[in-house]
């Protein structure tokens, strides 16, 4: 989230490889283009790529380690002598070829956040390499939870979060979104747990604790995922269902009742769902994201279980990634908007089809608010759609630029060409580029050929350049303005003109307001409110005790800005229980604005940190120094 510029320098050994391999000729069968420019992976240095992974693993909850052998089928140039994989904090025990003969390997000097290149010598006929290794306690993708940190408090739990470049902390891999491979796996977990992966999954525990997996479609490494815990499954349709801890399952099934409708709506928009099953896994609350689009099995935070289905656009989002992201993938993290901007666009289209235009306009309007706010704090160069993250953590690219500026760019194309033509263009884009990685430049080429030249519609001069390569938001960006939010904004004005909260309740029939109207209301309140106003709003609308995580988190921010003490105990337990970074960052950021707040934040963080995944704790460590 926050930018930290750190320059890295390649050790001399790597520099020598680069100059050596840059004079190699290219091989048609390997798409070197897609991997050459990824500055966040060492894989390109070897000019050999993995095509299939066989993973044989044992999950040890006592040692908090994974012991595994990863066997790869590889494709290489006839004269390539090495293959290079990404690793981070792995203990590599041995590397052998298909005949069980030792292959010499070398772990190069660690690079901050990139980890270490694992350089393996190949003989002329090597087609298979097998790496035996174990993970380290500090493996950044993994979060090992004690029973106490789960909903049912009986069994331990493990989950991974690989995106953007953390897959390398639990498996030696070519960790570049431009390199795809199929996989199968055999995973052993303690007998009372079930293991799940981003693959075909079991739906029941077995007696052996050994589970087998297969992913037949090629995926990039950031979509590798594993979870193990006391989980049960119930189907929603014949191709979708929910995994959750036993006590959470029924609530989750209710919340996600419309799941099959979402899938078929998505298919009617942009073509067949290609991954067979689409299941959801509801994780414990420390999961650092809202959702993660692991193929066949989206990982989701329990903070979207609002009890009224009001936060399910997140599911539409992760589902939409089954096209934008998982089928057609950003080639590098500089092209991240191709994953997220398209997905937000697709998400809102699904929500519009299911719940109406007013609903999706509220989502779009909240996007615009967030985008405008973030534009004020980001360095100008990070506000282009095409990013330059070289030498930095790709996490820095996870801002509303990729998501919301990306969305508004696509929406403005839709508005220029009309929905029918734009939808046809997108549908073709997904089918023609399925299982490919795409750079921004390649997308522009396709856009020019298949939309702009095809329909000969004049775009404003410099249109693409402004959206993609220029800072900020173009002046003529679409601006959503849902009727319901106009009413919400009027209510705020009335409040400021001394209308009381209970008068407002009657006058504006707030009993009928939806979650999104409340989010708009609370987040558009003026920054400074006095304690009488806050108290009466809270009394009438019950924000402090809201069970809706989105409403609570915007209210918590207002409370911090105005030092509204009655909310603080609730903020404390929210910060301790929830590990979702999107909620944590604004709250800790608001707290550290005053000395007193900073002191309190540090005390709370001391208690909360053991519950956070590395992705969250590393961001907050940095924030609190």
Rounded to the nearest whole angstrom, what is the least distance from the CB of residue 593 to ligand BES in the complex? 24
Q: Does 321 bind ligand BES (CB under 6 A)?
A: yes
CA dihedral for 399, 404, 407, 408, sign (positive or negative): negative
Longest dimension (CA), the chain: 82
Angle at which helices 406-417 and 336-355 cross, to 10°: 60
Q: Which of 115, 177, 285, 290 binds ligand BES (CB under 6 A)?
A: 290
Could you say which residues in the range 549-588 bind ligand BES, by CB under 6 A?
Answer: 582
Instruction: From the candidates 188, 245, 293, 318, give the one annotated as an active-site residue.
Output: 318
Residue closer to Zn ion (CB basis): 343 or 619: 343
| DSSP one-letter string for 580-596 | -HHHHHHHHHHHTTSHH
| Contact region with ligand BES (CB under 6 A), list: 168-176, 233-241, 312-320, 406-414 | 312-320
Give the shortest CB-396-to-Zn ion separation in angstroms.
16
User: Which region, judged by CB under 6 A, interacts with ligand BES, from 275-283, 290-298, 461-469, 539-547?
Assistant: 290-298
Phi, psi of 273 (to 5 degrees): -75, 120
Q: Which part of the chain contacts Zn ion (CB under 5 A), choosing from 38-46, 256-264, 335-343, 512-520?
A: 335-343
Nearer of residues 144 and 407 to ligand BES, judged by Cβ? 407
Q: How many CA atoms lie within 13 A of 543 on its CB side?
A: 27
Q: Give exposure, 521-530, as e/b (b: 16+ Cβ within 10 Å).
A: bbbebeeebe
Q: Which of these segments, 314-322, 412-420, 449-457, 567-575, binds ligand BES (CB under 6 A)?
A: 314-322
> Binding of ligand BES at residue 293 (CB under 6 A)?
yes
Q: Which does 541 bind (CB under 5 to 8 A by kind): ligand BES, Zn ion, none?
A: none
Q: Does 245 bind ligand BES (CB under 6 A)?
A: no
Give how far the C-alpha of residue 461 lies from the chain's centroid of Cα atoms, to the nearest Å: 34
Which of 65, 76, 277, 317 touches ligand BES (CB under 6 A)?
317
Closer Cβ to ligand BES, 92 or 292, answer by number: 292
> If we measure between CA atoms, which residue out of 114, 55, 47, 41 comes closest to residue 83?
47
Nearest approach, Cβ of residue 28 and ligand BES (Å) = 32
Marked catalytic residue, from 270, 403, 605, 614: 403
**Cβ distance to ligand BES smaller for residue 296 or 582:** 582
Write the CB contacts of 442 (distance below 8 Å, at least 6 apart in sequence): 331
Binding segment for ligand BES (CB under 6 A), chosen from 248-256, 310-318, 412-420, 451-459, is 310-318
Show the binding pattern over residues 390-409: x = contacts ligand BES (CB under 6 A), - = does not: --------x----x------
289 binds, among ligand BES, Zn ion, none (CB under 5 to 8 A by kind): ligand BES
403 has catalytic annotation: yes
Site membership for ligand BES, residue 164 (CB under 6 A): yes
Select the residue interacting with ligand BES from 230, 318, 334, 538 (CB under 6 A).
318
Cα torsion through 227, 59, 40, 116, rounded to 10: 170
Compute φ and ψ for 275, nearest 5 degrees: -110, 15
Q: Which residues is 106 bridged to in the sheet?
A: 119
Residue 291, interface with ligand BES (CB under 6 A)?
A: yes
Query: E strands within 221-337?
Result: 226-229, 232-237, 240-244, 278-282, 291-292, 297-300, 328-330
In angstroms, rounded to a whole number, what is the distance separating the alpha carbons of residues 269 and 407? 17
314 binding partner (options Zn ion, ligand BES, none; Cβ < 5 to 8 Å by kind): ligand BES
Token pair, residue 597, equals 């707040």
d(CA 570, CA 314): 24
163 is in the binding site of which of ligand BES, Zn ion, none (Cβ under 5 to 8 A by kind)? ligand BES
Closest distance of CB 399 from Zn ion, Å: 13
Q: Is 570 a catalytic residue?
A: no
Site for ligand BES in 260-279 (CB under 6 A): none
Nearest CA to 42 among 71, 8, 68?
A: 8
Tell which residue, 143, 144, 247, 155, has the closest CA to residue 193.
155
At 119, is the secondary structure helix, strand, or coil?
strand
x-marked contacts with ligand BES along 332-351 as a string, rule CB under 6 A = --------x-----------
Select the span of 54-62, 315-323, 480-488, 516-524 touching ligand BES (CB under 6 A).
315-323
Torsion of CA 404, 407, 413, 417, to 10 degrees: -140
User: Can you spell out the DSSP letters for 289-316?
Assistant: SSEE--TTEEEE-GGG--SSSTTTHHHH
Q: How far is the CB of 222 from ligand BES (least distance, A)?
A: 8
Residue 227 three-state SS: strand
Number of chain positions touching Zn ion (CB under 5 A): 2
Q: If binding is defined by CB under 6 A, does position 38 make contact with ligand BES?
A: no
Is the distance from CB of 418 to CB of 438 less than 8 angstroms?
A: no
If one asks whether residue 40 binds ligand BES (CB under 6 A), the answer comes out as no
Q: What's the Rg (C-alpha) of the chain?
A: 25
Strands (E), 426-477: 436-438
Indicate whether 504 belongs to the interface with ligand BES (CB under 6 A). Answer: no
Q: Which stretch binds ligand BES (CB under 6 A): 25-33, 54-62, 311-319, 453-461?
A: 311-319
Contact flags string 339-378 toward Zn ion, x per CB under 5 A: -x--x-----------------------------------
**Token duo for residue 14:** 């790597």
Whole-number Å distance between alpha carbons of 85 and 217: 21
Location of structure tokens 């990685």: 437
All residues at 6 or more sequence positions from 347 whose CB lies less than 8 Å from its CB, including other chains: 313, 316, 317, 320, 363
The residue ranges that bind Zn ion (CB under 5 A) are 340, 343
The residue ranges that bind ligand BES (CB under 6 A) are 163-164, 289-293, 314, 317-318, 321, 340, 398, 403, 582
Catalytic residue positions, numbered: 318, 403
């Amino acid at each position: 989230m926050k930018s930290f510029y750190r320059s890295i320098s390649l050790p001399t050994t790597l520099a020598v490889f680069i100059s050596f391999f840059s004079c190699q000729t290219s091989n048609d069968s390997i798409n070197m283009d897609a991997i050459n420019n990824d500055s966040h992976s060492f894989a390109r240095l070897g000019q050999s790529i993995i095509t299939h992974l066989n993973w044989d693993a044992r999950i040890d909850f006592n040692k908090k380690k994974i012991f595994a052998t990863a066997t790869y089928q590889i494709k290489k140039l006839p004269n390539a002598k090495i293959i290079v994989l990404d690793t981070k904090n792995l203990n590599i025990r041995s590397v052998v070829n298909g005949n069980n003969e030792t292959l010499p390997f070398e772990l190069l000097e660690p690079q901050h956040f990139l980890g270490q290149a694992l350089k393996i010598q190949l003989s002329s006929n090597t087609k298979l390499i097998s790496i035996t290794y174990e993970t380290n306690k500090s493996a950044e993708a993994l979060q090992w939870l004690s029973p106490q940190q789960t909903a049912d408090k009986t069994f331990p739990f493990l989950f991974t979060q690989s995106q953007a470049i953390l897959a390398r902390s639990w498996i030696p891999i070519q960790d570049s979104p431009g390199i795809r491979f199929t996989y199968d796996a055999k995973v052993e977990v303690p007998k009372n747990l079930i293991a799940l992966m981003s693959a075909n999954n079991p739906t029941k525990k077995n007696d052996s604790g050994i589970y087998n997996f297969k992913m037949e479609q090629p995926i990039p490494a950031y979509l590798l995922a594993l979870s193990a815990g006391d989980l049960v499954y119930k189907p929603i349709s014949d191709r979708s269902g929910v995994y959750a801890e036993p006590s959470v399952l029924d609530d989750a099934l209710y919340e996600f009742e419309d799941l099959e409708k979402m899938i078929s709506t998505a298919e009617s928009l942009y073509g067949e769902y290609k991954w067979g099953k689409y299941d959801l896994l509801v994780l414990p609350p420390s999961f650092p994201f809202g959702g993660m689009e692991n193929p066949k099995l989206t990982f989701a935070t329990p903070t979207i279980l609002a009890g009224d289905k009001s936060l399910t656009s997140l599911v539409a989002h992760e589902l939409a990634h089954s096209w934008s992201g998982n089928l057609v993938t950003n080639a590098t993290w500089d092209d991240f908007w191709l994953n997220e901007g398209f997905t937000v666009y697709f998400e809102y289209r699904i929500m519009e089809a299911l719940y109406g235009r007013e609903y999706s306009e509220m989502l779009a309007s909240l996007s615009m608010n967030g985008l405008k706010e973030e534009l004020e704090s980001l360095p100008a160069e990070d506000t282009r759609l095409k990013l330059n993250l070289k030498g930095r953590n790709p996490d820095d690219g996870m801002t509303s630029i990729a998501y919301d500026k990306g969305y508004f760019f696509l929406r403005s194309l839709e508005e220029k060409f009309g929905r029918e033509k734009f939808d046809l263009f997108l549908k073709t884009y997904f089918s023609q580029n399925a299982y490919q990685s795409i750079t921004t430049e390649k997308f522009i080429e396709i856009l020019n050929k298949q939309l702009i030249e095809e329909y000969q519609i004049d775009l404003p001069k410099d249109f693409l350049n402004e959206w993609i390569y220029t800072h900020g938001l173009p002046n003529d960006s679409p601006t959503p303005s849902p009727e319901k939010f106009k009413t919400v904004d009027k209510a705020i004005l009335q409040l400021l003109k001394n209308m009381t909260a209970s008068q407002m309740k009657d006058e504006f029939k707030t009993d009928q307001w939806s979650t999104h109207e409340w989010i708009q209301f609370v987040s558009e309140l003026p920054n400074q409110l006095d304690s009488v106003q806050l108290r009466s709003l809270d009394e009438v609308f019950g924000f402090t005790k809201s069970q809706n995580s989105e409403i609570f988190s915007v209210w918590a921010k207002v409370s911090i800005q105005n030092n509204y003490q009655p909310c603080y105990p609730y903020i404390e337990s929210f910060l301790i229980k929830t590990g979702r970074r999107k909620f944590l960052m604004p709250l800790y950021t608001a707290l550290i604005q005053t000395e007193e707040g900073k002191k309190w934040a540090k005390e709370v963080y001391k208690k909360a940190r053991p519950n956070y995944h590395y992705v969250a704790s590393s961001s907050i460590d940095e924030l609190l120094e």
